[in-house]
Amino acid sequence: PSGFKLLSVKRGSLFEKLGLRRYDILKSINGQVLDIQSGMNTFSTLKNETDFSLELERGGQPKTFKYQVI
């Protein structure tokens, strides 16, 4: 299976500030599919990114979030 399911999103956390919710399934970041093998590597490549997008599934529907880090 691909993706990471968020089982909990803490109030005030970075995930909440990004608009993520409990039970969202993160599918890809910047077009890179998230799975158990590549997921952590993908997260580590974001350290120096200023623009990124998250594709996820929420309630069975696909959603895309775009961010700019300033």
Residue 21 is which amino acid? R
Residue pair 42/34 in contact (Cβ under 8 Å)? The answer is: yes
Q: Give the whole-angstrom CA distance, residue 28 versus residue 70.
A: 22
Question: Quick one: tokens of 16?
Answer: 């909440």
Return the residue matching tokens 């599919």. Answer: 33
Cα separation, 27 vs 48, whole angstroms: 21
Tokens 């993908």 belong to residue: 42
Q: Which residue has the higher pLDDT, 4 or 40?
A: 4
In tens, the pLDDT along 7-62 reads 999 999 988 988 999 999 999 988 888 877 776 677 677 777 889 899 999 999 99
